Structure 1
Amino acid sequence: MLAESWLTALLAAAIPCVAARPDPDLWRRAMTVAGDTKACGLSDPAPTVKAPKTNPWAPISPEDAAAVWDYVHSPDVGLNLTAPANATQTDNYVYFVETLQTNKSQVLPYIDGDRPIPDKYARVVIFEGGKEVPVSQEYMVGPLPIDSKTSIQKLDYIFNGGSGGAVPYNARYYDGKRSAASEPLLKSIMAEIADITLELFDGVYYGSGDNRTNITPGSPTPVSFDGTQAYRNIMFRYPGLATYLAPIDLFVLLDVTGTDASKYFLKGIVTNSRFFPTVADLRKAYEAGELKSEFPQTRNTDWGLLNYKPEMGVRDLEDRLAPQSIELGGKRYKLDTEQQYVEFMGWSFYMSFSRTLGIQFFDIRFKGERVLYELSLQEAAAQYAGYQPKAANTALCIFEADSGYPLARHRTGASNDYGFSRLASVKGSALHTRAVATVGNYDYLFDYAFHVDGSLEITVRASGYLQSSPYYKNQSRFGPRIQQGTQGSYHDHILTFKADFDIVDTQNSLQVTELVTVNQTQPWYPELGSFAQMELNTTLMQTEQQFNWAPNGQAMYSVISSNLTNAWGEKRGYRLIPGRSNIHLSVHDSPWSRKQSTFLKSSLAVTRQHDAEVFANSWQNINLPEAPQHDFAKFFDGEGVDDEDLVVWFNLGMHHFTRAEDIPVTLYTEAVSSIVFAPQNFNDRAQEGDLRNRRWIATDAKTGKLEYEDYGIALPTCKVELEEPTLKISEWTTV
């Protein structure tokens, strides 16, 4: 099944994307500067720039969000809402308010023309447990700000599952209100078997507020298949900072269908890989001595913490500060913070933020010409392997950094006629827009790198605690033993992105250039007869479809302009280049991800752009694997994609073959996936000729005389000496 998805978990936890860095003033106090401080540019803020137009994708203001909250709670609106703090699962209450993404058809006449900026609307999710037929319903409120023209209506048009913005009660997000409703049943069951759990696991559960409780419950998703029923598969762990690594072999399965908690009941208990339908069945096996922990879990999980562990040994010179990136000479990007607009080395783009999608990029241009209308994350999900009930169904910062390699380099040797050898090297760098989202057991690092050559690289990395399982040696097919009583369950991480390409305009095609082998003859090689030779076979995709990267990389996929060519008559475009670990979901027919996760089941997909097909997924799909609120499969209805407004959907991710080195946490070095969008005849030549950050060196082969040209970009005339680090953890801040 899909473990708690990133989007769903972000909704539940409301955790901001943060990146830790030292406070700037403390950083400056920790170093001594000799020479011209200004020349170093270390303390210079980013230059400002005025965005060409007001950001039409920007989130609604806090003031508008508060006004929307007051508006929907007004008795005149008639929603009969209860304040969330006082609500139960049988009340109507607001779950969240966020921005409704403005339709592309409304934005383009404004951003490219002289039409007024489109109206803003809020998206409001209300859990309507107090209705005769309880549902979760989405609404749209606007236009904003609130005035006499503002109205509220059901938000149905962006969902294609048949019920619009409504989701059955049983399939709605399992929030704290629903959890509280089933808590009395769980406490009564656990109290009845407390003597068993105490002996087997040194653990008891009498409720989260009871001082006797010393184990922690956790529930996976989904809690429903089609909205007609609901259930909780509750696993238990030892509490602590590394609780995900300390599972115990106890699972309680509850039927929690409907809003009447008095009708909830026990479906069964699982331990020792055995299912017991009743407490009596469990007790019978316990009293017969049939239950025991083969590999008992340890309560002390210090081994799962990221603190320094000197017992692992000391590495020579590890007491020295590791290399750091410093923007000598000052920042080379410009910001309009009010409009969330950025310019860098020919690139320009707007940004927005959604509670359900995270960071979004809009109107991405290179040297004034649009490449992408939208680039955004759509979903982040994990599907696990395992035999236990849980395992089986389970801020932003901007900086420029050196690429670590030159953008271009070549040495031309001297000849008899030309007595100079030449060496040219062009510095490579990229503007990184980076966010880290901590969701439950993982820290997802999202990095969007805008390279100076006009290419755009998207990278995702995952680090954090494994969602592990109790270890049994006869279940090694699901993953290795990674600690005394812990198994690292194999799983897939899949992250789905939307790339709405507009190569200069909206008339685009998806070109497939295959590398094929053909037999041919050449008259100047008669002795070879017929022999194999490579050729390019170029076609255009004609209809919407899902597809995978070609084996051995023997195909190039490019979004090209239907009408525009470069100086050499070639169609202008951008190529999709697979990076590291471009995968899709391993299991295509799991009951926990059957129909609501179609987008995960291929590496790539192409569709025609529609305002009603703005998302690959619905955040409430997690509990509807058999009857999704929004069905990606319905996008593929035979529409043509040649000379149309195209959207490319792509997946990044990794097959997580768990290992002992995932303790204490998975490492970013190998849990990584990436893709590159690179110019493909978009320009007339490589985009490095206008970069002054280069060196041109000529050497006279006879005299050894050196001619050196730095094009006026010399190192700043300053000296920076870092003192011994003395900062305390408490002095660090988050941004």
Structure 2
Amino acid sequence: MLSSIVFCLALSSIVQSSAVPPLNYGRRALRNLLGKRDFNTSSCLSEAAPTTSAPKANVWAQINPEDNLAVWNLLHDPASGLNLTHPDNATLTDNYVFWIDTLHTNKSSVLPYIDGDAAPPSKYARAIIFQGGKSSPDSQEYMIGPLPVSTQTSISRLDYIYNGGSGGSVPYNARYFDSKRSAATEPLISQTMQNISDITTALFGGVFYGRSDERSTLTYTSGDPQSFDGSQCFRSIMFRFPGTASYLTPLDFFLLIDCTGTDASHYYVKGFVTKERFFPTEGDLRAAFEAGELEVEFPQTRDQEWAMVNYKPELGFRDLEERFAPSTLEVGGKRYRLDKEQQYVEYMGWSFYMSYSRTLGLMFYDIKFKGERILYELSMQEAAAQYGGNQPKAANTVYHDTYYQLGTTLGTLVEGFDCPWGSTFWNVSYGSYNKTTVNEDAICIFEADMNFPLSRHRAGGSMPYGFSNLGTVKGAQLTVRSIATVGNYDYMFDYSFHIDGSLEVIVRASGYLQSSFYYPDQGKWGPRIYQATQGSLHDHVVTFKGDFDIVGSSNSLQISELKAVNVTQPWFPELGSFEQMEMEIYNMEQEAQLNYAPNNQAMYTVINPNATNAWGSPRGYRIVPGRSDIHLSTLNSPWSAKNSEFSKSHLAVSVQHDTEPLANSVQNINLPLKPQQDFSKFFDGESVDGEDIVVWFNLGMHHFTRSEDIPVTLYTEAYSSIVFAPQNFFDRAQDGDLLNRRWIEVDSETSELTYETYGVQFPTCAVEFTEPVEDIGGRVEF
């Protein structure tokens, strides 16, 4: 052996408990259950990363709790003229604040500051106010600033970032279906179901008298969209057995209601669906029931233990599984630096700022490698899902998860399982009315071994070693991770910064399927996965924004297509004309949505046409599709007609405009025919050759459901990725300056080895898991 490394992992006193605290207790409480390290005895798991100072203030950062409270107070000041009621006391016909968030800062205002000597741009908040008190009730978005609140602060309509024709206004019937609106429909649902309780008892052994009625043994859910254009509102309600895994115990019973307007006395039942049949009235349903036409062939289970994510001894025992699984450890100490106050990170030539919003979650800005900006912005824009089936809930469901404020669902990460031991954990916080809610340890940052060398070569030679020299470079990456649990799904977002200058974005999905009731003839929409449960076929499409600035903001998308051509070569006259491949290289001319070439026979590179490397090639970054880069399967569905245009292509390239910061609107889901934000309008024929361009790209998966989705979908299979890699950006590969390598030479005469470590030795350290001790880790609030 050339060298060795010693680790001591003594899992000495794991604290065990059957009780798990609520998620908002944070990782600290979770680790008290799992076993916590004693920092005094471990250098391997030292929690504190070295510090640095950001070159400029983080102008993209979320507004702080003080500004959130000040904005809340300003909105509720009678002098503002908004006539607001506190949400806790509001009704459908009141005006009240839905939420307050941070307004996207215009790029044109930021660049003079981060690249020059200009003053930092002003900060603004955005607020959605439900205006039920108007003669034509709606939801209106406002911008409030500059912040902090002063005599210079004003409140104005936030219209300029939306292109649907009504600015920040959304019709009442299309606005977010909050608890007020849900409560308004409850009497109709309860009374209707009470009227047919004898039918539901006979069919399913359950009844529904209301969510708060103790006699109810059923629960329900409804999907999106709930309107087409805002002129009407409807709910397609599916009943199911209650419990933690209610997503997996659907019943074959649907109630369709019309709930248009603010007057609940006008709401009415549109009909019932069961046995794949539609019954317009209760009388029609009862007649079929009494005729014996509604008998249930496959009774749904009430037992939900099979759907829990806990140990299942009935599956058997795996040899040696009682041993603790391998773990990623930063054994040499952390190799990244943090400015926690500015949410700024430096790692192996990389630097970037982080930000957060309640709708989008984590965002990255001013991403540089070796001092040169690669991306001005990298952010998730939407996580969409569209289902298929012959039942109202499946056939009519499209989700936009920003509608559910995806950023607020970033939950506590479990150390050693969700993230490696010793990761840096940061909190996220967001305004919740006039208070601030903190989700503890919702982001983790860690460096990990890639588990393969970054580069390697063994030059030929004779025995005994079989080589004359061998070089291998250790691979590593820094990952920033968050997991958003939006209803039934746990989306894992990874942003990995590789030491060669590549940047990888990965999305994984786990959690419960939104399932359907099983029918033998519905296999084309998914297989049977339990007693009376069918896995519902659906697409997940997660849209991202990549605002590239390659050596400045004048960029182009270069396309290099591989084509098969017929050629002749004089040194092979006997072949005549034969086929070979060559590249056709051109720059994209106009804004457009486009798909990857079949067989991946095209390379897409964001270049600066006016900047070349030492060899005369335009400097750029290549877009490398990874696993499962998809778009929506249905391009003309009425449920996603014009409100989901961002999900309908692999890539899209547009010119950057301050008026187009977001691909979607957070209330767009209920406007498929008349969207507040129509992404397709971004592409209006502008030139993208040598301009400040934005690349919108999609990750995701066609979810071909399977029995292995029980109890939850597995991250190994539900996985999608993309890589941005240097393409002639440098003059050579960026691995030669890495010390973590081994260079081995063989003396041709003596066969002796010389072994160069470049001064980087294997560390020796001990890691001991002991009884809980005080948490000394620093925390950052987003």
TM-score using structure 1 length: 0.94
1:718 Cα offset (Å): 3.0
Deviations 1:582-629 (A, max 9, x none): 110000111100111111111000000000011111011100000000
Q: What is the aligned partner in structure 2 of residue 185 from structure 1?
A: 188
Whole-angstrom distance in 2 between the partners of 1:223 and 1:28? 47
Q: Distance in 2 between matches of 1:726 and 1:468?
A: 42
CA separation in 1, counterparts of 2:250 and 2:33? 43
The answer as to 2:259 corresponding to 1:256 is yes
Q: Which residue pairs with 1:116 in the alignment?
A: 119
Amino acid at match of 1:259: T
- Cα distance in 2 for partners of 1:121, 1:261 equals 37
Opposite residue 467 of structure 1, the aligned amino acid is: Q
Counterpart CA distance in 2 for 1:691 and 1:20 is 36
The counterpart of 1:326, out of the listed 322, 329, 352, is 329
Amino acid at match of 2:447: E
Distance 2:33 2:765 in 1: 19
User: Tell me, what secondary structure is at the counterpart of 2:640?
Assistant: coil
Residue by residue over 1:38-95, the C-alpha shift from the partner in whole angstroms, topping out at 9 and shown as x without a partner, is: xx44225100100000001001110000000000000000100000000111110000
Q: Deviations over 1:345-379 (max 9, x none)?
A: 00000010011111000000000000000000000
1:386 aligns with 2:389: yes
Is residue 413–residue 421 contact of structure 1 (8 Å, CA) maintained in 2? Answer: yes
**1:425 and 2:472 correspond:** yes
Q: Distance in 1 between matches of 2:606 and 2:200?
A: 59
Residue type of the partner of 1:425? T
Equivalent pair of 1:608/1:646 in contact (CA under 8 Å): yes
Between the aligned partners of 1:497 and 1:113, the Cα distance in structure 2 is 28
Determine whether 1:589 maps to 2:636: yes
Per-residue deviation, 1:20: 9.0
Deviates more, 1:459-468 or 1:270-279: 270-279
Contact 2:503–2:725 under 8 Å retained in 1: yes
Cα pair 1:42 1:329 within 8 Å, conserved? no
Q: Does 1:598 align with 2:645?
A: yes
Q: Tell me which residue corresponds to 1:370.
A: 373
Contact 1:420 1:700 in 2 (8 A): no
Counterpart Cα distance in 1 of 2:527 and 2:48: 49
SS at match of 2:186: helix
Unmatched runs of 5 consecutive residues or more in structure 2:
1-22, 398-441, 774-778
- Match of 2:222? 219
Amino acid at match of 2:169: A
Cα distance in 2 between the residues matched to 1:112 and 1:520: 50
Q: How does 1:332-731 map to 2 (within 5 A)?
A: 332-394=335-397, 395-414=442-461, 421-720=468-767
- Displacement of 1:281 in angstroms is 1.0
State how far apart, in whole Å, the 2-side matches of 1:461 and 1:274 are: 36
Aligned partners of 1:470 and 1:486 also within 8 Å: yes
The CA deviation string for residues 178-230 of structure 1, in whole angstroms up to 9 with x for no partner, is: 01111111111011001111111111111111110111111101110000100
> Would the alpha carbon gap of residues 261 and 462 (structure 1) be closer, same or farther in structure 2, given more than 3 Å must change?
same
For residue 213 of structure 2, give the secondary structure of its aligned residue in structure 1. coil
Aligned residues: CA RMSD: 2.2
Deviation at 1:415? Answer: 7.5
| Count of aligned pairs | 709
In the TM superposition, what is the alpha-carbon distance from 1:519 to its structure 2 partner? Answer: 1.2
Q: 1:304 aligns with which of 286, 303, 307?
A: 307
Contact 1:98 1:123 in 2 (8 A): yes
1:339 Cα deviation from its structure 2 partner: 0.5
Task: Check the 8 A contact 1:17/1:396 in 2, yes or no.
Answer: no
Letter in 1 for 2:297: E
Alpha carbons 2:298, 2:518 under 8 Å: kept: yes
Question: Which of 236, 240, 245 is 2:243 aligned to?
Answer: 240
Instruction: Name the SS of the counterpart of 1:651 in structure 2.
Output: strand
- Bigger shift: residues 137-146 or 387-396: 387-396
Q: Aligned AA for 1:414?
A: G
Distance in 2 between the 1:217 and 1:719 partners? Answer: 52
- Out of 91, 98, 101, the position equivalent to 2:101 is 98
1:632-657 deviation digits (Å, cap 9, x = unpaired): 01111110000000000000000000
**Seq. identity, %:** 65
Instruction: Find the aligned partners of 2:313 and 2:473 in 1 and give their Cα distance.
Output: 43
Q: CA deviation at 1:701?
A: 3.9
| Cα 1:121/1:633, change in 2 over 3 Å | same
Q: Deviations over 1:314-368 (max 9, x none)?
A: 1111111110011012100000010010000000000100111110000000000
Q: 2:55 pairs with 37, 43, 52, which one?
A: 52
Q: Provide closer, same or farther for how the CA distance between residues 726 and 477 of structure 1 changes in structure 2, counting only shifts above 3 A.
A: farther
Amino acid at match of 1:700: D
Q: Structure 1's 543 and 256: CA in aligned 2 closer, same or farther, altered over 3 A? A: same
Shift of 1:414: 3.1
Offset, 1:31: 10
**Secondary structure at 1:76 match in 2:** helix
Kindly state the Cα deviation for residue 19 of structure 1 after the two structures are TM-superposed.
Answer: 7.5
AA paired with 1:214?
T
- 1 CA distance for matches of 2:655 and 2:497? 26
Aligned counterpart, 1:128:
131
One of 194, 198, 206 as aligned partner of 2:197 = 194
SS in 1 for 2:523: helix
**8 A contact 2:621–2:727 mirrored in 1:** yes
**CA–CA separation in structure 1 for the residues paired with 2:101 and 2:368:** 27
Mapped to 1, the partners of 2:78 and 2:486 lie a distance apart of 36
Kindly state the Cα deviation for residue 413 of structure 1 after the two structures are TM-superposed.
2.0
Shift of 1:309: 0.7
Residues 19 and 435, structure 1, Cα contact 8 Å, conserved in 2: no
Deviations 1:473-507 (A, max 9, x none): 11111110000000001100000000000002000
State how far apart, in whole Å, the 2-side matches of 1:563 and 1:16 are: 51
The DSSP-based 3-state class of the residue aligned with 1:592 is helix
Between stretches 389-398 and 18-27, larger displacement belongs to 18-27
Cα shift at 1:716: 1.4
Q: Which one-letter code corresponds to 2:475 in the other structure?
A: G
By how many angstroms is 1:288 displaced? 1.2
Shift, 1:30, TM fit:
7.1
Equivalent in the alignment of 1:210? 213
- Cα distance, 1:579–1:660 mapped onto 2, change above 3 Å: same
Q: Deviations over 1:548-571 (max 9, x none)?
A: 111111100000012111111110
266, 269, 280: which one aligns with 2:269 = 266
The amino acid of 2:114's aligned partner reads I
* Alpha-carbon separation, structure 2, partners of 1:164 and 1:602: 25
482 and 682 in structure 1: CA distance in 2 versus 1, 3 angstrom threshold:
same
Question: Whole-Å Cα distance in 1 between the matches of residues 524 and 251 of structure 2?
Answer: 19
Give the AA of the match of 2:286: R
- Aligned residues of 2:331 and 2:765 also touching (Cα < 8 A): no
CA contact (8 A) 2:39 2:46 kept: no
Distance apart, 1:702 and its partner CA: 3.6
Q: Are the counterparts in 2 of residues 18 and 435 from structure 1 also a CA contact under 8 Å?
A: no
Counterpart contact for 2:613–2:728, Cα < 8 Å: yes
Decide whether the 8 Å contact of 2:36 with 2:771 is kept in 1: no
**Residues in 1 aligned to 2:536 and 2:299: alpha-carbon distance in whole angstroms:** 17
CA contact (8 A) 1:457 1:675 kept: yes
Unaligned runs of 5+ residues in structure 1 are 1-14, 729-733
More off after superposition, 295-304 vs 24-33: 24-33
Q: 1:436 and 1:183 mapped to 2: Cα distance?
A: 32
